[in-house]
Amino acid sequence: MGREIKIGLLAIIGIGLFIWGYKYLLGTNVLKRSNTFYIEYQDIDHLQVSAPVMIHGFQVGTVTNIKLNPENLRTIIVTISVDNDIKLPPNTVAELRSVGMMGGKSIELAYVGLCDGDCLESGSQLKGKSFGFIQSMVEPSEVEHYLATIEQGIGGVIDSINYSLLEEDPESGLGKTVADLRIAIANLKQTTIHINRLFSSASGKLVTVLEDVSTVTGTLKTNNEEIAGLLQNANSITAQLANARLDTTILAANRALGSTGNMMESLEATLVKADLTFDQLQALLKGINAGNGTLGSLTQSKELYDNLNRASINLDLLLQDFRLNPKRYVNVSVFGKKQKDYNVPEQDPAFDSLRIEK
């Protein structure tokens, strides 16, 4: 057997199982033989496909199809499927009944006697009959019994109410409730009387208040133009404020304040550094005044000052002598000429400086 044939057989089996399962969910067993019957109703009252078909409470079939009668659109044709081993006589009636309180429907097959050679064949049409909710729950022969029971129960309740209303002790039971209700009604009557009196006494004041209100409304009507002008001015002011873009101005001001804050922080840091520099300079000057370090020694030593002063005078004399007598310091002989002896001038500045020092 080829692979294609196997796949085809599996597909056919799958389709068959799908159809069987779908029909089974609808209440129809395709593997079991059944008879089909047709019923015509004026109103099926929400009867659904797959609703059960019963005989004395035992399910013998299901509803397989529901459609309008093409020949008479005011009637509905219901198709039911009944087990093949169920034989129905010609007097069978398909009664449409309610199953429970939730509104479910079923079809009850009712008949008298058994068929003897004249059983209905598959495809026959049954007579249909619809029952209401109470008729579905209670048999017609038992309706009077149920009504009598209900009447007795309601009569007992009414007698209990009458006894409670007419009992001698009004401080208990329903009599007390009725007495309280009478008191409440009397209090309500007194309250309405007081309210009427209050309105009567306040009617004059109410008229005055209404007159004042009328005066105020008249004043508003008289000054309507002025009020309109005020509102127009207010609208103009709000428009100007809106056009002024206060949000942009405020944002720019915030940015300027932020920049100013940053500058203040930088200035504060600079001032702190300046304070540190001044402190260090003050400490340095204090050390110099105290004679600490080289500069302090220079400022505090008199001997060093005198030496520097003397060195400055000597340097001045040296430069002056070099200017006046350059041959004394530089003597260039080209031909081997003998150098002349140096004679100290009579007015030598050095002697003057020495005399000054002495």
| Residue 44 buriedness (CB in 10 A; 0-12 / 13-18 / 19+) | buried
The pTM of this model reads: 0.37
Look at residues 137, 156, 185 and tell me which one is the last residue of a structural domain. Answer: 137
Q: Are residues 117 and 57 in the same domain?
A: yes
Beta strands in 84-228 (DSSP E): 93-98, 105-110, 125-130
Question: Phi/psi class of residue 155: alpha, beta or left (left: φ > 0; alpha: ψ in -120 to 50)?
Answer: alpha
3-state secondary structure of 334: coil
Look at residues 244, 279, 312 and tell me which one is the last residue of a structural domain. Answer: 244
Q: Are residues 104 and 43 in the same domain?
A: yes
Q: How confident is the model at residue 68 (pLDDT cuts 50, 70, 90)?
A: very high
Give the pLDDT mean for 72-93.
91
Give the pLDDT mean for 136-154.
64
Higher pLDDT, 18 or 70: 70
Please count the structural domains in the chain: 5
**278 part of a folded domain:** no
Q: Are residues 123 and 72 in the same domain?
A: yes
Q: How confident is the model at residue 67 (pLDDT cuts 50, 70, 90)?
A: very high
| Residue 110 buriedness (CB in 10 A; 0-12 / 13-18 / 19+) | middle
Look at residue 109 in the predicted model and tell me its pLDDT.
Answer: 93
Q: Are residues 123 and 212 in the same domain?
A: no
**249 part of a folded domain:** no
Look at residue 168 in the predicted model and tell me its pLDDT.
Answer: 47
CB 177 within 8 A of CB 165: no
* φ, ψ (nearest 5 deg) of residue 70: -65, -25
**281 part of a folded domain:** no
**266 part of a folded domain:** no
**6 part of a folded domain:** yes
Extract the tokens encoding 98.
């309610």
Look at residue 358 in the predicted model and tell me its pLDDT.
Answer: 46
Q: Are residues 37 and 132 in the same domain?
A: yes
Q: Are residues 182 and 235 in the same domain?
A: yes
Look at residue 76 in the predicted model and tell me its pLDDT.
Answer: 93
**83 part of a folded domain:** yes
Look at residue 14 in the predicted model and tell me its pLDDT.
Answer: 85
The domain in which residue 23 lies consists of 1-31
Q: Are residues 146 and 120 in the same domain?
A: no
pLDDT in tens, 253-264: 778 777 777 888
Q: Are residues 49 and 131 in the same domain?
A: yes
CB 92 within 8 A of CB 80: no
Per-residue pLDDT at 280 exceeds 80: yes
Higher pLDDT, 229 or 183: 183
DSSP 326: G
Torsion 10-14-15-19 (CA) sign? positive
Residue listed under structure tokens 């540190």: 276
Look at residues 209, 225, 244 and tell me which one is the last residue of a structural domain. Answer: 244
Per-residue pLDDT at 15 exceeds 80: yes
DSSP secondary structure, 169-193, as one string: -TTSHHHHHHHHHHHHHHHHHHHHH
Look at residue 79 in the predicted model and tell me its pLDDT.
Answer: 93
Look at residue 98 in the predicted model and tell me its pLDDT.
Answer: 82
Higher pLDDT, 193 or 342: 193
- In angstroms, the CA 339 to CA 112 distance is 184
Look at residue 94 in the predicted model and tell me its pLDDT.
Answer: 92
Extract the tokens encoding 165.
């209303």
Q: Are residues 50 and 124 in the same domain?
A: yes
- Give the Cβ contact number of residue 120 at 10 Å: 19
Torsion 82-84-86-88 (CA) sign? positive
Look at residue 38 in the predicted model and tell me its pLDDT.
Answer: 95
Higher pLDDT, 343 or 219: 219
* φ, ψ (nearest 5 deg) of residue 202: -95, 5
**257 part of a folded domain:** no
Look at residue 194 in the predicted model and tell me its pLDDT.
Answer: 85
**Which of 33, 30, 22 has the alpha carbon at shortest distance from 122?**
33
Q: Are residues 37 and 124 in the same domain?
A: yes
